[in-house]
């Protein structure tokens, strides 16, 4: 039996800007509030790993849902072992307005 790993969500002020183009959401901007190297999102890379994954994979790394809007606040988590290299990891994002995430965050 395999143990499930609980994701540790970082709700530290990251956000994405979106545009609706036909039936598709396009990421047009990203905001990382952390500029120092000690921040969780920059701990294993000089650049924000959340921004890196979103630019690389778009919204494929999203696990939540919310109403579309021009700017969406997101939380993020990483799976894998970043010490071994970020190519061996996966970053997941979830809108903080997602109803399940909001309920979980209130319970914390």
pLDDT in tens, 44-103: 888 899 999 998 888 887 888 888 889 999 999 998 888 787 888 899 999 999 999 988
pLDDT tier at 5, thresholds 50, 70, 90: low
**CB distance 52 to 85 below 8 Å:** no
Structural domain spans, the chain? 15-107
Tell me how far apart the alpha carbons of residues 30 and 75 are, in angstroms, rounded to a whole number.
Answer: 13
Q: How far apart are the first and last CA of the chain?
A: 28
Per-residue pLDDT tens digits for 9-54:
999 999 999 998 888 888 999 999 988 878 999 988 888 999 999 9
DSSP state of 10: B
What pTM was computed for the model?
Answer: 0.85
């Amino acid at each position: 039996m395999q143990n499930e790993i609980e994701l540790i969500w970082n709700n530290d002020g990251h956000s994405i800007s979106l545009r609706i183009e036909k039936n598709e959401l396009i990421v047009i901007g990203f905001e990382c509030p952390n500029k120092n190297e000690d921040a969780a999102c920059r701990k294993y890379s000089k650049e924000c790993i959340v921004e890196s994954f979103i630019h690389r994979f778009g919204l494929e790394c999203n696990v939540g849902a919310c109403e579309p809007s021009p700017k969406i606040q997101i939380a993020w988590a990483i799976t894998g072992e970043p010490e071994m290299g970020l190519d061996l990891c996966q970053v997941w994002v979830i809108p903080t307005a997602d109803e399940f995430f909001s309920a979980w965050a209130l319970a914390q």
